[in-house]
Amino acid sequence: MSVEQVSFCINPNLTIILETTNEELKHFFEKKFKGLFNGSVDEEKHSTIYLIEKEKLEIADPQILREITIPEICVFNDNDFLIVRNKKKIQVPFSKIGIDKKLEIYFEQGFPKDWLRRLLDDILAFHVVGFDVSLFHGASLINKDLEIIIPAWRGTGKTNLALHLLINKGFSYKGEDQFFISVDKNSFVYTDACHVDYKHMDEFPSLKKKYSSLPFSLRSMIVKIALPFLPPTGEISEFIRRGLIKVFAPKVFVKMEEFIPDFKVSYEQPKKRLVFQLILRPSISDISIRPVELNRLVDRCIGGMQYEREDFYLAYYGWVYATGNRNTIVENIASYERTVLQEALDKANCYEIQIPYGYDWTKNYSKIEKIIENI
């Protein structure tokens, strides 16, 4: 098999280039990134990520810092580290993350494609912050001059609200789960693929066939039975809930255009921003909406709403604290990102939406729409 190179221009600030012999992997990345952006790039801020497949990656004198259930981490020199998954390796130059505009990441033939995607997301989160950009965990939708940003943990209704605004209220898409936002207040799409779970099947019948397999049915059943016994009453119970959902109820990865008529990706920049932070509260009986200060919202987004990144940082980047070879960008990720978000969201109207556990809050769309209309 010959090596094939495919290039994906994601937005004015980022291009991802994949070199692989694996047709399945190429198709996987095409589904996530193909056709997102055809405009001109920002030469000053633009960075390129290369994902390069190698037949074999060697470890020279590995120092295994920790072994965890998800991969093993092996630091093998002053500038790089290897992540080992199913005996296959991926090599990341941590000394260049957030510093060099060209970043080359090597992976062995047969490295699990889903892990490659997940690691790319998290490595990108570290990388782009060095260029005053955040890969933000939230939805981003725009209608004329108004952009709505929705940060939230999984299971609070972020996707439902985003899809409602896209389908019923004429909003265009920048992100359903992740998007880029910069200190100069520009926001850009990262992918036009959507992660949806079984709760969306009734509203979107075209998704049913994607959940018709026996493994998905059994996993969904386990979650439906177990979750009522684990209300999110604290950090520990919330962590267990997230782990249970991720393991037993994985989301299906679909192109938005597969089930949304007239789907549109927007690169327009807003004049006004509205932020709805969704928070699950088991101790309340009705939905409540109240203004929140920007600093408080940003602190929550760094410490909670970006939970995949925080978990990734603690578990996979443990070597940063165990060695003397530290990348300043990686070491100070929280303070860098806080600065980005404070600048990016400055002058935005910020609201906290508290949602009762187990409550069908979608009936309260009208309350949210009133705020939108008055901005």
| pLDDT tens per residue across all 375 residues of the chain | 688 899 999 988 899 999 999 998 998 898 889 888 888 888 888 899 999 999 998 876 666 555 544 556 666 666 677 777 778 888 888 788 899 999 999 999 999 887 788 788 878 888 898 999 999 889 999 998 999 999 987 678 888 888 889 888 889 999 988 899 999 999 999 988 877 666 666 666 666 665 666 666 777 777 778 877 777 666 667 667 767 766 665 566 677 887 777 888 898 999 999 999 998 887 888 889 999 999 988 888 875 444 444 444 444 454 444 455 567 777 777 788 899 999 999 999 999 999 887 777 777 888 888 888 887
Strand 178-182 and strand 102-108: pairing?
Answer: unpaired
CA distance 265 to 192: 7
Please report, for residues 7, 22, 36, 221, 330, the alpha-carbon distance to residue 122 in angstroms, rounded to integers and kept in the order given.
Answer: 20, 22, 20, 30, 11
Q: Over the range 145-162, which residues count as b (16 or more CB within 10 Å of their CB) and which as e? A: ebbbbbbbbbbbbbbbbb
Structure tokens at 88: 């296959």
Short-list 159, 140, 162, CA closest to 149: 140
Strand 14-20 and strand 4-11: pairing?
Answer: antiparallel
CA distance 163 to 177: 11
Give the angle 265-102-188 at the CA atoms, nearest 5°. Answer: 15
CA distance 310 to 246: 16
- Residue at token pair 């630091």: 75
Structure tokens at 219: 């996993």
Name residues whose C-beta falls within 8 Å of residue 341's C-beta, 6 or more positions apart in sequence: 134, 136, 181, 298, 301, 302
Name residues whose C-beta falls within 8 Å of residue 221's C-beta, 6 or more positions apart in sequence: none
CA distance 272 to 147: 6
State whether the Cα torsion 5-257-39-142 is positive or negative. Answer: negative
Give the angle 247-89-85 at the CA atoms, nearest 5°. Answer: 20
DSSP string, 157-221: SHHHHHHHHHHHS-PEEEESSEEEEETTS-EEES-SEEEE-GGGTTT-GGGGGGG-SHHHHHHHH
Short-list 154, 186, 191, CA closest to 305: 154
* pLDDT at residue 320, rounded to an integer: 47
* pLDDT at residue 73, rounded to an integer: 63
* pLDDT at residue 316, rounded to an integer: 46
Beta bridge partners of 143: 146
